[in-house]
Amino acid sequence: MLNECRSHGYFRGEDCPLCGSKAKFLLNDQELDMLGRTMAGVLRHFPERYGLEIDKNGWVDLRDFITALQIRNRRLRFLKPHHVIGLIETDPKGRYQFRDGRIRATYGHTFDLELDLPTENIPDVLFYPTTEEEMPLLFEAGLKPTDRKMVHLSKTFEAALEAGRVRSKDPVILEIDVKRARDAGAVIMKAGKTVYLVREVAPGSLRRAERVEEELPPGD
């Protein structure tokens, strides 16, 4: 459920997590899911189906986007800018951006873009999920895009594990040495809360990651 607190802005849930007060209702769970799925499809894969033109950096005018959705889906005819902005600002993975009246997806595209995303303050190590069968090939050829236009890396071992379980029950996680990857020419960009993008990663930057269990203090 998407709501808006007068004092603290948009949030998901029934009561504001900061002040506990009831807030203005915006979208129920079904509407939130429907809007999110439609946004992902249009902004990442098929803007032309909705008659939309996305610029070279992935941006589309918010009002044009809303009008296109209202025409194609009568269940979204109530849609207003604050519904979309609220979804973007509360998205748990940070998959979208709103700026100067325009919106975009920050990763997951299946068409070419020139994404102008941050390249500073990148972690020293990033992670990538694969399988036992694919791992030797990646150690030989490096990481390259498959069904998407960019390679998606994860900030943590756990985030890579979650991403890998979409394809495999027991994924293998690779560790990327960011300095080595950059020295080999990789440009790594921050695209979401735990997602980073790169055109490709040289094989010399990869190794199999071992999950390190955190040790608890005695008595815990």
**CATH code for position 155:** 3.20.170.30
| DSSP at 147 | S
| Cβ atoms 107, 150 nearer than 8 A | yes
pLDDT recorded at residue 17: 86
Using pLDDT thresholds of 50, 70 and 90, give the confidence band for residue 32. Answer: very high
Using pLDDT thresholds of 50, 70 and 90, give the confidence band for residue 212. Answer: low
Q: Which of 105, 139, 165 is the last residue of a domain?
A: 105
Q: Which of 55, 72, 105 is the last residue of a domain?
A: 105
pLDDT recorded at residue 182: 96
Render pLDDT for 41-97 as a digit per residue (tens, 0 to 9): 999 999 999 999 999 999 999 999 999 999 998 899 999 999 999 999 999 999 999
How many structural domains compose the chain?
A: 2
Render pLDDT for 150-208 as a digit per residue (tens, 0 to 9): 999 999 999 999 999 988 888 999 999 999 999 999 999 999 999 999 999 999 999 99
The verdict on 79 and 136 lying in the same domain is no
pLDDT recorded at residue 178: 97
Task: Report residue 69 as tokens.
Answer: 């959705």
C-beta contacts of 60-67 below 8 A and 24+ residues apart: 60/102, 60/103, 60/104, 61/101, 61/102, 62/98, 62/101, 62/102, 62/103, 63/101, 65/103
- Candidates 207, 209, 188, 210; CA nearest to 139 is 207
Task: Report residue 12 as tokens.
Answer: 């998901």
Residue 53 belongs to domain spanning: 2-105
- Candidates 143, 135, 131; CA nearest to 180 is 143
